């Protein structure tokens, strides 16, 4: 692509901009600290709007764009400065989220946090697409308005804060999942920005081919854990569908409704824990029937744990069962 258009930045201007963006200075530290605090509090409050606000002001995207350009051109000064700034910003965000997690350590984290502990290939696709837009927005002045949307799409700060919050709760596995999502976003954005700079005419593919392929190879390594997570999500959805079919398709479970389902894939065989609401007691024999039904559908061994919550139908005159008993007690005895 030619850079002759008036909307494209000149190479020298772009390099100067990226060097400035990669500088570890007071504005970067202030924005990072504020973004980390807002994101952490939003995650603790389980507020989507607050978390989005933290994404908009998070400055972590700027050094990543510098890393992309520096690696692509073999510019050691830019690469080192950008990596150091990204590392310092990430460490600051981890520290702030960890401390806030210690202060507000009561209760479990909500869905906004747990959703960021299980990354899949879909997250990598989002990072690549958003990174490409971010790269083009950097080289084209007429796309600068899309920077805020790009920051929201890549969502760098929330998973990093989830790492700190889960570490404060000693949840190593969940913290590791959130860290994998953060690394997925960083690497996906880096490679996508490199491609954007290449397409924009800021590098010759013949000269940077090995660097670009090397970065892409690192991203490909993520396909293994991310692909495994995606397959597990699909399998979990299939298990949930089969269990729902067994609960709704028989008279035995006509008064049973599924509230929640989770799978522990680390157990052998995997443990499926379901929370149900029922108007009657559930026996081990009935659970065995559900297991047999789902095994027949899935052709996979697993252990089913059912957490039953009893409920009674209540009207303005009282519970149905209680009303019947009261009427019987109040009726005159027959001689």
Instruction: Please give the span between the terminal C-alpha atoms of the chain, in angstroms, as a whole number.
Output: 102
* pLDDT tens column, 246-275: 766 665 566 677 777 777 776 777 788 888
Other C-beta atoms lying within 10 Å of the C-beta of residue 78: 23
Q: Tokens at residue 44, please?
A: 């603790």
In this prediction, residue 274 carries a pLDDT of: 80
Which residue would you say has higher pLDDT here, 242 or 217? 217
Would the pLDDT of 326 be above 60?
A: no
Beta-bridge partner residues of 264: 271
How much is the average pLDDT of 78-101?
95
Domains and CATH numbers, the chain: 11-221 (1.20.1080), 232-312 (3.30.70.1350)
In this prediction, residue 178 carries a pLDDT of: 94
Which residue would you say has higher pLDDT here, 179 or 146? 179
What is the largest distance, in Å, between two alpha-carbon atoms of the chain?
107
In this prediction, residue 9 carries a pLDDT of: 66
Residue 39: band (very low, low, confident or very high) from pLDDT cuts 50, 70, 90: very high
């Amino acid at each position: 692509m030619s850079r002759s258009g008036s909307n494209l930045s000149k190479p020298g201007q772009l390099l100067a901009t990226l060097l400035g963006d990669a500088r570890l200075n007071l504005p970067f530290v202030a924005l990072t600290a504020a973004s980390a605090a807002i994101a952490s509090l939003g995650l603790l409050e389980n507020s989507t709007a607050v978390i989005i606000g933290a994404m908009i002001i998070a400055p972590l995207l700027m050094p990543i764009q510098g890393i992309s350009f520096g690696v692509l051109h073999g510019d050691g000064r830019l690469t080192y400065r950008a990596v150091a700034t990204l590392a310092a910003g990430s460490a600051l965000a981890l520290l702030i989220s960890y401390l806030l997690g210690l202060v507000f350590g009561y209760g479990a984290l909500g869905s906004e946090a747990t959703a960021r502990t299980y990354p899949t290939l879909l997250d990598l696709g989002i990072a690549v697409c958003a990174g490409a837009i971010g790269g083009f927005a950097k080289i084209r002045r007429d796309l600068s308005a899309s920077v805020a949307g790009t920051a929201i799409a890549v969502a760098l700060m929330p998973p990093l804060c989830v790492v700190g919050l889960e570490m404060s709760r000693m949840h190593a596995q969940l913290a590791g999942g959130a860290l994998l999502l953060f690394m997925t976003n960083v690497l996906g954005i880096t490679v996508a920005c490199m491609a954007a700079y290449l397409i924009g005419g800021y590098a010759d593919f013949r000269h940077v081919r090995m660097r670009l392929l090397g970065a892409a190879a690192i991203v490909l390594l993520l396909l293994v854990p991310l692909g495994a997570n995606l397959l597990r999500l699909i399998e979990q959805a299939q298990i949930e569908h089969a269990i729902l079919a067994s609960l709704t398709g028989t008279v035995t479970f006509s008064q049973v409704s599924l509230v929640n389902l989770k799978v522990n894939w680390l157990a052998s065989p995997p443990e499926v824990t379901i929370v149900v609401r029922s108007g009657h007691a559930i026996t081990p024999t009935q659970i065995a029937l559900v297991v047999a039904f789902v095994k027949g559908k899935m052709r996979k061994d697993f252990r089913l744990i059912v957490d039953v919550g009893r409920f009674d139908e209540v009207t303005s005159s009282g519970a149905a069962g209680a009303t019947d008993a009261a009427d019987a007690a109040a009726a005159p005895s027959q001689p």
